[in-house]
Amino acid sequence: MSLLLAYTLSVLMLVATPGPVVALIVSTSMNAGPRQALLTTLGTNAASLLLALLAVLMLSGGLALDPRLIHWISVLGCCFIAWLAVQGLREAATQPAAQAPAKPLAGRGRGLATGFVVGIGNPKDIIFFVSFFPQFIQVGRTFEHSALLLTLVWVLIDLAVLGAYILVA
């Protein structure tokens, strides 16, 4: 139980710490509304589930990934996040000050996809699932039970925290 509590607190701190996903969710909520922000949240959550699955497959020996591949996925994710930031700055610079800001990419019907791409390339999540997640894999009676429990806790905390950010924004 103490291992599960440590995991829960770790996930809570990781998810609640502002990063690219939180910035995307808050921006989307403010510019495109809570419904679109929720779709974006579901996209980032789907990416987290894929990363969790990859971590479980790596731990079970069903998948061997070269650390360089993980590094390059992280770099590509950072590049996409930088591209989103540059696009946002360009749009803000080309609009008159009195005009409302344009909707972000997520506000143009691409919330799930944008959320997924930002989530899959999020360096925090990649590092967590590849190096930190294995520390807690013995939380259950079996490997499968542990993997399922840890993933479920992640999903619930992720949705709750990002939902809170949406409500605040």
Residue given tokens 């969790």 in the structure block: 52
* DSSP structure string for 148-164: HHHHHHHHHHHHHHHHH
Q: How far apart are CA 114 and CA 87, in angstroms?
A: 13
Half-sphere exposure for 168 (CA within 13 Å, toward CB): 11
Q: How far apart are CA 95 and CA 85, in angstroms?
A: 16
CB atoms within 10 A of CB 9: 11
Burial 130-163 (b: 16+ CB within 10 A, else e): beebeebbebbeeeeebbebbbebbeebbbebbe
Predicted TM-score (pTM) of the model is: 0.71
Q: What is the pLDDT along the chain (169 residues), one digit of tens a residue?
A: 889 999 999 889 888 888 888 989 999 999 899 999 999 999 999 998 988 888 788 777 755 656 676 667 667 666 766 776 676 667 666 766 544 444 444 445 578 888 898 888 776 777 777 777 778 888 888 888 988 999 999 999 999 999 999 999 9
